[in-house]
Amino acid sequence: MALNELRQKISSQTVTVGVIGLGYVGLPLSLTFLRKGIKVLGFDLDPEKIRKISQGQSYIGHLPAAEVAEQVARGRFAATADFARLAEVDVLLICVPTPLTRNREPDLQYVEATARAIAATLRPGQLVVLESTTYPGTTVEVVQPVLEAGGLKAEVDFGLAFSPEREDPGNSKFATANIPKVVGGVGSVSTALAESFYALALERVVTVSCTQAAEMTKLLENIFRSVNIALVNELKILCQRMGINIWEVIAAASTKPFGFMPFYPGPGLGGHCIPIDPFYLTSKAREYDIPTKFIELAGEVNTAMPYYVVQRVMEALNSRGKALKGARVLILGVAYKRDVDDSRESPSFKLMELLEEKGAEVRYNDPHIPRLRPVRRYSFALESFPLTVGNLSAMDCVLVVTDHSAYDYGFIWSHARLIVDTRNVFAGIAGAEAKVVMA
């Protein structure tokens, strides 16, 4: 009976959504439903996020504050740290972090804590969907037992599903609404509920047979990228030794109209997915006595990239009679990808750590990140260093890590003494090789 009422609410678009975790996944997802006139109550433990939303502000660069302010003013959007209010909403979307421990094991503390919070207020007629990336089996092995401990049963009293987030910050072509949404429930009832719910705001919903298939889908997507990036990173090192330009090779290979997809080398992996998600599967695979050799080797190659880049910086300085110890190194870009203000898992932090360990004096510039805030494992008390003629010429080395479109590379090349380029951004500048070393 209660689930029938939920179906009717979804059908009539009178459903109320609760989004738990208002970060780079939760806030865009909230706005996607708000644009369709669906009321959203956000939950987060960060008082700063709650304050900013309440004041109609956005704390994510590519999400307009005006839209947040409009939805708040119209009474459709609110945010709270009071998890007792979870009972007020009809659909609960879990968008909390799933990091790794220092030993690269899955850290589900946020998922588990959220499940317990939901269980404390869970009522018949609610739908719970886990969106946080995790290993196959998490929904039914970790979340479901917690939710059912109070006597309510999935598929009978409430719905339970998994639907992996597919967020790409800064992508002008694809956003939450037009990225196909994969959904798998713990049973046919939950799958149908989740499918009809997401169809309210998303253009296409793709159902799979179970939560485990949906969980594995997300991991496959990111492992595919991790393995291919590792391959091209390894080839980059080989090509450098052989005197071959890997970027030229990739461009030439990309002319093949079938059987090839270009991936590009870099200074290391960043973001909330690719550096982390593959290890969720390697951990689970050990329960089945299956070695995940490709995944683990790719992780090793990608993790080694910052060390390779620092070695290239050292070689570049040495070739000019300068030691890395005491050298002034300016890192361009601490965001994990171009034109975003997201620094999660950015390789820039590892590069800073390695350079400082070797005695370098490190500064950074990023037009999207004016100052560094503490992140997992790293805490640098630095502010963005202005790109003036005097500042650039005073640096012993400029290290390009993130290729923001706001950078004037001609200006940088003109005034820097030495440049180590991990993104091939100086390829179009005549005579660039006089100052530029590829890494």
Q: What is the SS3 string spanning 281-320?
A: HHHHHHHHCCCCHHHHHHHHHHHHHHHHHHHHHHHHHHCC
Average pLDDT for 124-129:
98
Encoding tokens for residue 369? Answer: 């990140």
State the sign of the Cα–Cα–Cα–Cα dihedral 185, 190, 191, 193: negative
Summarize the confidence of residues 217-236 as an average pLDDT. Answer: 95
Instruction: List the single range of 185-194, 277-286, 337-346, 396-405 with lowest mean pLDDT.
Output: 277-286
Question: Which two tokens mark 348?
Answer: 């820039």
Tokens representing 287? 């329960």
Q: Which residues are catalytic?
A: 273
Query: With bands split at pLDDT 50, 70 and 90, how would you rate the model's confidence at 431?
Result: confident
Q: Check pLDDT > 90 for residue 155.
A: yes
Give residue 274's pLDDT: 74
- pLDDT-derived band at 82 (thresholds 50, 70, 90) equals very high
Identity of the residue numbered 160:
L
Q: Return the minimum-mean-pLDDT range out of 105-109, 169-173, 412-416.
A: 169-173
What number is the average pLDDT over the span 389-394? 97
Mean pLDDT of the chain: 94
Helix (H, G, I), strand (E, B) or coil at 109: helix
pLDDT at 382: 93
pLDDT for the residue 147? 98
Domains in the chain, please, with CATH?
2-216 (3.40.50.720), 258-438 (3.40.50.720)
For the whole model, what pTM was predicted? 0.92
Burial 68-98 (b: 16+ CB within 10 A, else e): bbebbeeebbebbeebeebeebbbbbbbbbb
